[in-house]
């Protein structure tokens, strides 16, 4: 049995949070384990490996997984080819905020020692991808990736929300997601799931073993730099507005 929906937003946009919310419904089964990464990191494991993660789904209307595949063109090509009828959910975030969070994600994992602006502009000025972990600018150019997916599966099979929607209009956002994947929007449970004590402990121990910092906070981004980098995304944001048919002018405003 294969999934009939995927939460496949871009890295550091809230894919895991949306997936947790969507799977808090009696007619939805979510694959066990965070981020299966089948279509990018585990494709060589084969379809049987992937299918096994849904073996315990039982009699539900929707079963799926949540991995930030958006921005990885190889992964999304595999995804649309192997699951052409799956309902796709995407969550997006202000691209500069996404890039800065991505940068600190790498700093905590000791993958990065440059200053943020240098790392961002290196990606921006490169003629080719410099490795997914360092694609600070590229992973925020959402429009081209979404348009390519729409060309394969149809815009009607895609549902796109913003991270702010999930945070500020949680009920409406989850009901819209449930409707998109074909389950009754009024049967789901809408709540903010707090990270449990045992989950916190497991995460702390895992990070300690791997030599990572357990501190998920980071210093605020310089306002002037943020405004400068926001201008870099202007054309893509305007293009994204057209694709979504939604006003994103707040993404272009100076702070």
Q: Model's pTM, two decimal places?
A: 0.89
- pLDDT at 255 (0 to 100): 86
**Residue spans per domain, the chain:** 5-251
- pLDDT at 209 (0 to 100): 53
Q: Which whole-number Å values give the CA distances from 233 to 117, 198, 217, 244, in the listed order?
A: 15, 40, 25, 16
Consecutive 10-residue averages of pLDDT for the chain (255 residues): 95 96 97 90 97 94 97 96 97 98 95 96 85 88 97 97 96 98 96 54 50 66 97 98 97 93
Q: Which whole-number Å values give the CA distances from 90 to 15, 164, 178, 181, in the listed order?
A: 7, 13, 13, 12
Contacts of 6 (CB under 8 A, 6+ apart): 64, 65, 66, 67, 69, 79, 83, 86, 87, 88, 89
Does 5-251 carry CATH code 3.90.1150.10?
no
Taking Cα atoms as reference points, which of 91, 102, 42 lies closest to residue 68?
A: 91
Residue 131 and residue 225 in contact, taking contact as beta carbons nearer than 8 Å: no
Backbone angles phi, psi at 92, to 5 degrees: -120, 160
Tens-place pLDDT, residues 171-213: 999 999 999 999 999 999 998 655 444 544 554 455 445 444 4
Mark 196-226 as b/e (b = at least 16 C-beta within 10 Å).
eeeeeeeeeeebeeeeeeeeeeeeebeeeeb
**What is the per-residue DSSP string for 127-147?**
SS---GGG-TTGGG-HHHHHH
- pLDDT at 216 (0 to 100): 63
User: Strands, DSSP E only, in the chain?
Assistant: 5-7, 28-30, 62-66, 87-92, 158-162
Tokens of 148: 């390519």
The DSSP element (H or E) to which 94 belongs, if any, is: none
């Amino acid at each position: 049995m294969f999934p009939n929906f995927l939460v496949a937003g871009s890295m550091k946009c809230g894919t895991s949070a949306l997936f947790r919310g969507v799977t808090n419904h009696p007619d939805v089964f979510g694959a066990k384990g965070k981020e299966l990464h089948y279509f990018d990191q585990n494709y060589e494991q084969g379809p049987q490996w992937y299918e096994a993660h849904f073996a315990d789904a039982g009699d539900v209307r929707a079963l799926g997984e949540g991995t930030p595949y958006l921005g990885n063109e190889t992964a999304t090509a595999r995804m649309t080819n192997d699951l052409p009828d799956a309902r796709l959910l995407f969550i997006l975030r202000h691209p500069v905020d996404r890039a800065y969070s991505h940068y600190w994600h790498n700093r905590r994992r000791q993958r990065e020692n440059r200053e943020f602006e240098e790392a961002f502009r290196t990606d921006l000025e490169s003629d080719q991808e410099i490795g997914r972990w360092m694609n600070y600018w590229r992973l925020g150019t959402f429009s081209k990736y979404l348009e390519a997916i729409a060309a394969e599966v149809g815009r009607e099979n895609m549902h796109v929300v913003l991270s702010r929607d999930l945070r500020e209009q949680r009920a409406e956002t989850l009901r819209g997601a449930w409707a998109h994947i074909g389950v009754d929007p009024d049967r789901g449970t809408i709540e903010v799931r707090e990270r449990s004590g045992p989950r916190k402990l497991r995460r702390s121990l895992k990070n300690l073993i791997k030599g990572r910092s357990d501190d998920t906070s980071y210093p605020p981004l310089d306002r002037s730099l943020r405004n400068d980098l926001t201008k870099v995304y202007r054309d893509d944001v305007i293009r994204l507005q057209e694709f979504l048919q939604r006003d994103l002018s707040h993404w272009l405003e100076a702070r």
